[in-house]
Structures are given as structure tokens and as C-alpha cells.
Amino acid sequence: MKASAFDPPEGTLRKSVGRGAVATGLAQAVKISTQILSVIVLSRLLSPQDFGIVAMCAPVLAFIALFQDFGLTQATVQKSAITHDEVNYLFWVNVVVSVTLACLMFGAAPLIAAFYREPRVGPLIAAMALQIVAYGLGAQHLALINRRMAFRRLALIEIASAIAGFCAAVAWTIIDRSYWALYAGTLTSAVLPTLCYWANSRWRPGIPRKVEGVGDLLNFGAGITGFNFANFFARNLDNILIGKYLGDAQLGLYDRAYKLLLFPLSQIANPLSKVMVPALSRLTGEPDRYRSAYLRVMPLVLIVTLPGVAAAVAIADVLIPFALGEQWRESADIFRALGFAGLLQPLNNPAGWLFISQGRSGDFMRWGIVTATTSALAFIIGLPHGALGVAIVYAASEYLRTPFLWIYVGKKGPLKVGDMIRAASPFVLGSHMALAVVWLMRPLLPDHAVLAILGAAFLSYTITVAIVLLFPFGRTSLREAVNLARVAKPTGRGQTRP
């Protein structure tokens, strides 16, 4: 194949971004709904100890997964021109690394079980090695579909995988109501996408051979891996410390609160990167278009997510028992504390789009080290005060890091810190004001849980939008949301609006 065969058709960038954002948004709505439904249903079928066992294994799987990709999928997407031989080389690197890591994970399973002093962890860790191999086999096929901006195909695959994983987990509880049901769901969600990537990709690997000029790709991937390695500690050290020193019950409570709030938020930014990174990578030579593209999409993420987070934080004591059951009421305060971090993460997570699309993987890695260091310090400070203490101090650290992140991002590239202040301030301010108002009006909300939740959400979105409309950029962003939907909407003849 020629290099051009890996790229989207000429002149389709704007349409691809608009349609891709809508397709990705719909896919994420289904995925997040499925994840929340999974949390609700499986929390009623399984015990906190079952979730605690899986949560003990999750950091290990995440740590191993840092190295299997080696940033090579992002390298494939970001490179301005790439050939069949280069992709073939990266495919075999992914496969060899994934198989090696799976073997290491299998061998380390008894040691990890001994670390936690929990024998049930060992077999589960060993079984999770299959997920590593499945991902390695599909990594480059996923990257090529992403590079071609075939976002509708990716959206359908993600929806099918999420639903299949949930169904597999629930079905397994009929056979064995234990933590193995959660494993069945995650394995299904790992294997099915790989099969779909192969079926939908036009590319097939050949005999492995070394290719000249892949050093830059490997160096770029090393920077991404460096960030992922550092970010692992920011995302998982809390689970490790709570599991080690506070036990599986506390970890189960913390993990449910985290999964119900911060995990879905990260799942909005991460899939959108499949749309934005290839689009921004094609615009690096046009600074004005690059800046405009980012500032058109980022506010849409904020207006969709922040008011919902604000409402959830304000009525956490109603939301958690209603969603998870009375046995999870202790998670409400943890959920509320993490929610304050959730009011900033939809703003901060997309910074990765900028680092990657600009080829700044080294800067990305250095910021990851800063995040890991400050988060680890927050976890250690909060640990003596239990899982709630960890959540509170972690949220505080998110507020302290945010201004420094955007100053660092703005040092290079088309987007400056002033651009972000102008673009993000209306939405961040509006959501914080909404949280305060909903909190004060909680006594006036209906007694019925469903009505209270719906009322809080309506109130939060209304207040946020009202405040956003006070700012010129906020009004422009809301108009852009309507325009983006029009761009993505097909006409009666199956064509896309110009």
C-alpha cells in the first residue's frame, strides 16, 4: 500500500471531525450508560469484596498495559506520512512486546497475591494476561482505522464491545456469582474489539523485517510510554495504598465511587482523542486553524460534562444509595470529594491531544512525572484519614496543578494560556456556581430519589448555560454546538451538509 492509502480522503477533514465528534459522542453516551448500568446491576449482584479483589488486580493490569503499546499507535496516527513497511514493523513490535509482558504477568501472579496476602488474586492476575495479548494483536489495526478517521466504524465497535462485556459479566453471575463475572466482562471487551479491528481494517501484516527510519517513531512512542508510566501512579497508586493498608472493603467503597464518576469522565476525553489527535496532527502547519479546531471542540466537552458532575456532587447522598443500594451509602462522601476533581478533569485531560498532535511527547512525559509526583504525595497525605481522606487531598491537588498545566502547554504551539482562560472560564465558573446553587436548594428538591436527581440535573445545566451565555466566547461555543450537529447531520440523499 502507498502511504496515501492510510490517510482520509482529501478535503474531508472538517466533515470527518464533525461527524466523528457526533459518532464518538453517541458511542460514549452508550458506553457510559452501559458502564453506569454495569456498576448498578453488578453492585447488586456482587459484594464489595468481589469488587475489591478485581480492584487489587486492576493496577497490575494497567501497569503492564503501559508497555505493550509503547506509544506506537499514537506514532502511527500522528506521523504525517507512513508506509506499509513501517506499520508492519510496528505491528510485530506490538505483538512481541505484548506476548512477553503476558508471560511476565502470568509468572508474577503468585508474587502479587503474596503482596496483597490474598490468594484469590493470583489466578485472576494470570487469567488477565490474555487481555494483554488480545490488545497487542489489534493495536496497529486500530491505529490505522483511527488515522483514516473512520469514526463511525470505531463507534459501532466500541458500542458492541461495551454491551457485549456487560452482558457477559451479567451472564456469568448465573454460573458463578463471584469476581470471575467481572473478569468475563473485561475479557469479552478486550477480545471482541480486536476481532472487529481486523475485520474492518484494509491492512494485513506481512513477514517481519526491519525498516529504515523507524527510529523517530520509536522515540516518539517512548515519550508517550514515559507519560503513561508516570500517569499510572497518578491513577492507580491510590488503589494500591488503600488495598494494602485499609483493606478490600475500603477499597471496594473507593473503587465504586471512582468508577461511577471519574472513570466515565476519562472515557469522554480518551475516545475523543481518536477524533482530535489525527485531525489536529493534520493542522500543525496551520496555527490558526489548529487553534480554532481545538477551541471549537473543547468547550463542547465542558458543557456536556461539568453540569452533570456538579449536580451529582451536590446530591451524592441521594444518588449513591439510589444507584448502588443502601450498602454503598458510605461511598457518598468519597464520591462527593472525587467530584471536585471531576469538575476539572474534563478540562485537563484533553491537554494530551495538544502534546501528542504537536509531537511533544517529551513534554507530555515530563508533565506526567509532575502529575504522578503530586498525586502520590496527595495519596500519602490523605491515607491516614481513610479512603475519604485520599479522595479529598487528591481533589485539592487537581486544583493546584491545573494552572501550571496550561502554562506549560502554552509555552509552545499555537494554543496559549490566554486562549484557554478565555475559552474555559465560562464553563468552569458556571459549573461551580451550579454546584453551590443546587447544594443550597437541596431541601426544596422532591423527596423521591428519581425526581430529585432529575431536578438537580435540570437546575445544574440551566444555571451553567445561563452563566456561559454571559460571556462572548460562551455564546459562540453554544452556537458552535448547534453548527457541529448540522455539519454531521445527513441530508435526505445521504450526503453530509457542507
DSSP 8-state code for residue 496: B
CA angle 451, 32, 404 (to 5 degrees): 100
Q: Which residue has the higher pLDDT, 65 or 19?
A: 65
| 497 falls within a domain | no
Which sign, positive or negative, has the C-alpha torsion 61, 65, 66, 67?
positive
Confidence of residue 17 (pLDDT cuts 50, 70, 90): low
Q: Report if residue 126 sits inside a domain.
A: yes
Q: Per the structure block, which three cell numbers stand in for 27?
A: 458511542
Is residue 243 included in any domain, yes or no?
Answer: yes
Whole-structure pTM value: 0.73
Instruction: Find residue 490's DSSP bridge partners.
Output: 496
Residue 495 lies in a domain: no
φ and ψ of 206, to 5 deg = -115, -165
Give the domain range for residue 423: 3-488
Euclidean distance between CA atoms 19 and 107, whole angstroms: 45
The answer on pLDDT for 220 being more than 60 is yes
pLDDT tens digits for range 345-364:
899 988 988 998 888 888 99
What CA–CA distance (Å, rounded) separates 341 from 334? 11
Of 267, 385, 269, 398, nearest in space to 334 by CA:
385
* Inside any domain, residue 297: yes
DSSP state of 492: T
- The total of structural domains in the chain comes to 1
Q: Is the pLDDT of residue 485 over 70?
A: no
493 within a domain of the structure (yes/no): no
Residue with the bigger pLDDT between 484 and 440: it is 440
Q: What is the mean pLDDT of the chain?
A: 84
Give residue 459's pLDDT: 96
Cβ burial 456-469 (10 Å sphere, 16+ → b, else e) = bbebbbebbbebbe
Q: Quote the pLDDT of residue 11.
A: 53
Q: Which residues contact 312 (CB under 8 A, 6 or more apart)?
A: 261, 319, 335, 339
Question: Do the domain assignments include residue 142?
Answer: yes
Q: Which long-range contacts (CB under 8 A, 24 or more apart) does 197-201 make?
A: 197/138, 197/141, 197/142, 197/145, 197/157, 198/137, 198/138, 198/141, 200/141, 200/145, 200/150, 200/153, 200/157, 201/141, 201/144, 201/145
Name the band, by pLDDT with cuts 50, 70 and 90, for residue 492.
very low
What residue type is assigned to position 430 of the chain? G
Tell me the mean pLDDT in the region 37-52. Answer: 82
Specify if 192 maps to a domain.
Answer: yes
Q: Is 209 left (phi over 0), alpha (psi -120 to 50) or beta?
A: beta
Residue 128 has pLDDT above 50, yes or no: yes
The arithmetic mean of pLDDT across residues 78-84, rounded, is 74
Cell 457477559, residue located? 168
